[in-house]
Structure formats: structure tokens, C-alpha cells
Structure 1
Amino acid sequence: METRAHHVLIGAFTIGVFLLALGFVLWMSKSSVDQRFNDYEIVFTEAVTGLSVGGLVQYNGIKVGEVSALKLAPDDPRKVIARVRLDAAAPVRQDTRAKLGLQGVTGLAFIQLSGGAPESPPLLPTPEHPVPLIPSDESALSKLLASGTDVVTSINDVLLRVNQVLSDENIRRVGATLQHVDELSGALAGQRQDVATTLNQLAAATGELKHTLNTLGSIANSADTLLREDARTMLQTMQKTLASVDKLAASTGALVDSNRGAINQFASQDLRQVGPAIIELRETLRSLRQVSDKFGASDSLLLGRDQPKEFQPK
């Protein structure tokens, strides 16, 4: 009986030591795990469709942790709080931002961290936030889901328009158009020689027109050159004439200025005698004209022209 009691005590003692050792090992392992990771919280103001516990957390495309918990914000159910456990070596800083992303075509969501300038200080716990809070940005996934209704509506409108375009009447019209095109192609194929002749004539006419245009261009250039030269010569002549007139006007002005006294005396005294002199000159000219007329009438007698013929009896 006593022997059996000793065996029970020994077995209980052994089991207790084993449990203590196991607990110590688990505690040490947990401490080492906690020292290698840091917890952060991310508040999303959008639906986190496709994100679940254990989801991937990346920093600029590199895995740095996973999602450890998801819950709604107690003060605002429109917000979602995601607790993430990140590698202690991850460079999480105060300007680090988080947003949702999609993993390929699987539809699973993950958290993408970005930012973290070298000069920005590390993100550490504070009395207000014992678990550091990483700000979030609206993701392209959220924008896509928010505009999903508009996209579906637009697709429906496009399908309706496609159905209208592909109606039976339009299909018949397209078939008739294709038939007309086929008939036209056949007619052109039958008149291939005439078409070739017409094209050759058109090419020849085009060449002649080009030659004519070149000739007209040469004529225009020659006329332009001639007009420019004649105009230049005319302008030079006009300039010389104007210069001569200018000199003559200047000389006349100087002459008038130098003889102004004599001109004034002539205008005041001698011009009064010009009138009677002109009247006498007119009378003299009239007398000379009468004498000339008489002299012309007797010119034939003096010169022996138109003398009367003597009568000679037969």
C-alpha cells in the first residue's frame, strides 16, 4: 500500500514538472514571437470586401505581415478597424499610408502599405493610441465597386444601341449595300481595259497640266522680274525729275527773292503801260494782216501765175 502511494506521488511530481517545463517553453516562445512583430491598426472608411483574417500585408510589394483581426468601429459602424501584425524590421513611419488591393484575378484583397520617407520619424505607440494607427487612403477597388452601378448601366445602354444597330432592317440594308458593291466591282472588272485607258489619259493630262503650270510659273517670274526692273527704272527717273524740279524751284525762288524789288517796281509802274502797248500791237497786227491779204490777192499778178490767155484768131 505504501509502495503504491509512493509511485503515485512520484508520477504526480513528474507530470507537474513536465507541465511547468512546457509552460515555460511556450511562454518563452511567445515572448520571442512578440519581440519579432509589432501590432498596428488601420481604419478603413470603405468596405473591405475580400479581406479576411490572415490576409496579406505588403509594403511596396513585399510581404511584411498579415491581418490578425477585423472588426467594425464601435463609434461608427461605417468604419472598419483592421489589426495587422507586421515584422519589427518593417519601416513603418508617420507618413506611411495604407490602402486595399486585389491579388490578381482571385478576388482576394490585401493591404498595401506605401510611403515612409527616410526623414519621417517612426510610428510609435502613444497614450491616445497604445496600438499605433496607420492612416488609410481610398483604394481603386473601392472606386470600382462604387462605380459598379454606373458601369452596369453604361453597359446596358451600349448593348441596347448594339441591338438597334444590328436590327433586321439594318442587316438587310447592309446586305443590299454589299450586293451593290459586288455588282460595281464586277462592272469595273468588265471594263478594266477602258479604266486603264482612262487612267493613262488622266496621267498624260496631268503631266501636260504640270508642264503648263511650270511654264506659267516661269512666265510669271519673268514678268515679275521685268516689272520690278521697269518700276525701279521709272522710280529712279521720277526721283531725278523731282530732284531737278526741286532744284529749279529753289533757283526760281532764289531768283525771285533776289529781284523782288525790281518785280514789285515793274508790277506797280510798267504794267500800267503794258495795256495800251498791247492795244497798239493788236492794231498793228490787224493792219499787217490786211496788207498780207491784199498782197496774197495780187501775188498771182506779180508772179505771172494764172495770167489771162491772149485771144488768137483762127
Structure 2
Amino acid sequence: MENKAHAMAAGAFVLVVTALLALLAIWLTRDKTERDLYDMSTSETVSGLQPQATVRFRGVPVGKVELIGFDTKVKGNVLIRVSIDRSAPVTKSTFATVASQGVTGLGFIQLDDDGKSNERLAVNDDDPPRIPLKPGGLEKLLRQSEVIFNQVEQASTQLNKLLSDENQAAVTSAITQLGEAASGINRVAKGLEPTVASLPGLSRDATATLKSVKTAADDVSATATRLSEKGGPLDKLSEGGTALASGVETFSAGTLPKLSEVADEAARTLRQLRRTVNAVDDNPQSLIFGNGPPVPGPGEPGFSANGVKK
């Protein structure tokens, strides 16, 4: 009986301790945080992401992944449902990416916001709103790796063409021709050595010539200065031209009109003299007897149609 009593006491103690540990675990793991549900849909691979994975907003834990399944609204897409603290600033411009943790490679959801909107995303647990899920760094790297592999393949193909037997022969020939050209340049350089040696003398002669040209230019400049200075030849020539222009203007204004009048009088006198000479030529006796009476005209006594006095 005593052994049975000890066994029952031990069993009761174990049960009590177990119950206390369970209550302690429940108390320690209790979560009074209010969370809202959000959905994310993507056609990308979400390898490494598991339910209960952490959701971080710019590195700060704000929730967890509730489930991962297929999207019933978009055929072929993967649906990720997360629960996020109401205190997290989830707006209409918030977006998500799938990131991975360091060495373990376990995935988690990384939230970020580009700041285009300050309006909070309306929540509805019956039909959770959707947060855009953009490709993460791994997906971008995989896409870029395909492009890089294609470029490497093209480069290797071009390299194989470049290293073909024909191109190698052409390169060898070009190198040989370069060597021959270098030898020719050396020979030309040796032939130019005497010319190069005479360059200092030519330089001295050129310097002397330049000095002579500079001296001549200075003389011409001085002569031009003397000619153009006040009271110089150019100044006097300018004054003479001004005086000549003034004399011509005076002659034109005063003398020319008088000469024109004298010429008109001379012309009238010549015309009168010409009429007198013509009259003498027609009737020379008029110099002795005078011109006589004029011939009667029509209707006058003594008029005759033949011009003879009656």
C-alpha cells in the first residue's frame, strides 16, 4: 500500500508540473498584437518561403506568412497570405519582395514603400487586399544570368571565329609586314641623320631672318606713325583736299551760273548774225538801197499771187 501511495503522489506531481509548464508556455507565447490579413500573388518561384516565415517592413518584423497556395483569381499564380501588425504603415504604394536570409537561405517577405501614396490600404479579412509582389534580387539575378550566359556564348563563338586558321595566318602575315615596315623606318631614320644634324644651323638662320623681318616691320610701323600724326603729310594732304573741295563748291555756286548766262547771250547774238548774213546773201543790194517796202500780202493793194508788185 505504501508503494502505491508513493507512486500516486509521484504521478500527481508529474501531472501538476506538466500542467504548470503548459500554462507557462501559453503565457510566454501569448500574442495580443492585432494583425490584418493581406494577399500577394506572383507568377515567380517562391522556393525557400515557408508558412510562419517572417514578414519585415524595411528590416523590422511586422508579421508572418499564414499560408502559401494557388491563386483562385489568377490562374497559375502562387498566392501568399500574410498577417501584418496594424501599426505597420501599409499604404497603397507599399510593395513586397521575397528575400532570403544569409547562410540558411530561408525565405521571408520584405515590405517597402516608394512614397508615392500616404493613404493606408483598406483592410478586409473576408477579402484581404493585395500587396504587389515584385521580383526579388534572386529572380533578377537569375534573369540577368541568362542574358549573361547568352552573351558569353556569343562572345565565345566570335572568339572561335577570330582564332580560326585563316585569321591566325592573316595575323602572322600582318606581324611580318609590321616588322618589315619597322626595318624600313630604321633605314629612313639613318638616312635622315645628316638632315637632322643640319637643323640647328637652319634654326639659327631662321631666327636671324625673323629678327630682320621684325626690324623691317618696326620701321614700317614708325613710318606709318609719322605719316598719320597731326601736321604730317597725310594730315596736310587731307587739309588740301578739303580746301580743293571748298573751291570747287564756290566755283560751282558762283561762277558757273554767270558763265551759263554769257553763253546764252553769245548764242542769241550768233543766231541774229546768222539771220543777217542769210538776208544779205538773198538780197545783196539791200546794203546799198536798203530792204525797200515789204511785199504786200493777201488783201493788200498791189498783192499778186506770183509775188510781183503791181
1:151-300 matched pairs, under 5 angstroms: 151-182=148-179, 194=190, 197=193, 200-201=196-197, 204=200, 207=203, 211=207, 218=214, 225=221, 240=239, 243-256=242-255, 260=257, 262-263=258-259, 265-272=261-268
Alpha-carbon distance in 2 for matches of 1:66, 1:199: 88
Q: Which residue of 2 aligns with 1:27?
A: 26
Instruction: Give the superposition deviation at 1:266.
Output: 2.0
- Give 1:24 shift: 3.4
Q: Distance in 1 between matches of 2:101 and 2:227?
A: 83
TM-score of the aligned structures, taking structure 1 as reference length = 0.55
Q: Aligned in 2, Cα 1:133/1:179: closer, same or farther, shift over 3 Å?
A: same
Residue 201 of structure 1 aligns to a residue whose secondary structure is: helix
Structure 1 residues 40, 215: CA separation in 2 closer, same or farther (over 3 Å shift)?
Answer: farther
1:113 aligns to what?
111
Deviation at 1:152, TM superposition (A): 3.8
Q: How many residues align?
A: 266
CA deviation after TM superposition for structure 1 residue 129, in Å:
6.6
Normalising by structure 2, we get a TM-score of 0.55
For the structure 1 residues 266 and 211, does the alpha-carbon distance in structure 2 shift closer, same or farther, using more than 3 Å as the test?
same
Contact map agreement 2:96 2:111 (CA 8 A) in 1 = yes
Per the alignment, in what secondary structure is the counterpart of residue 250 of structure 1?
A: helix
Structure 2 equivalent of residue 80 of structure 1: 78
Deviation, structure 1 residue 251: 1.7
Question: SS state of the match for residue 269, structure 1?
Answer: helix
Distance 2:103 2:165 in 1: 38
The one-letter code of the counterpart of 1:266 is V
Q: Distance in 1 between matches of 2:108 and 2:198?
A: 70
Rounded to whole Å, the distance in 1 between the matches of 2:63 and 2:205 is 81
Q: What are the Cα deviations for residues 137-178 of structure 1, in whole angstroms up to 9, with x where unaligned?
A: 455654554565554443332221111111112223323433
Classify 1:155/1:70 alpha carbon distance in 2 versus 1 (closer, same or farther; 3 Å): same
Residue 76 of structure 1, CA deviation: 0.8
Identity in percent: 18
> The residue matched to 1:77 in structure 2 has which SS?
coil
SS across alignment from 1:74:
coil
Q: Gaps (5+ residues) in structure 1?
A: 278-314
Deviation at residue 79 of structure 1 after TM alignment: 3.4
1:177-225 CA distances to partner (integer Å, 9 max, x unpaired)? 3345456667878x69937836843864884697489569848966995
- Distance, in Å, in 2 between the alignment partners of 1:23 and 1:132 is 36
Shift of 1:243: 3.5
User: How many angstroms apart in 1 are the aligned matches of 2:159 and 2:102?
Assistant: 31
Q: Distance in 2 between matches of 1:242 and 1:149?
A: 92
Provide the alpha-carbon RMSD of the alignment.
5.5
The CA distance in 1 between the partners of 2:220 and 2:104, in whole Å, is: 79
Residue 47 (structure 1) shift: 0.7
Is 2:98–2:110's contact at 8 Å kept on the other side of the alignment? yes
Deviations 1:98-142 (A, max 9, x none): 23457789987654433376x946x57623677564333455654
Say whether the 8 Å CA contact 1:50–1:107 is kept in structure 2: no
Q: How far apart are the structure 2 equivalents of 1:30 and 1:276?
A: 152
- Name the CA distance, whole Å, in 1 between partners of 2:118 and 2:78: 26
CA contact 1:46–1:142 (8 Å) conserved in 2: no
Residue 136, structure 1, aligned to residue 147, structure 2:
no
- In structure 2, stretches of 5+ residues that fail to align are 274-310
- 1:198 and 1:169 mapped to 2: Cα distance? 44
Paired with 1:228 and 1:142, the residues of 2 have a C-alpha distance of 84
Q: Is the 8 A contact 1:98 1:113 kept in 2?
A: yes
1:239-272 Cα distance to aligned partner (Å, 9 max, x none): 656534542343234315xx84x55542332345
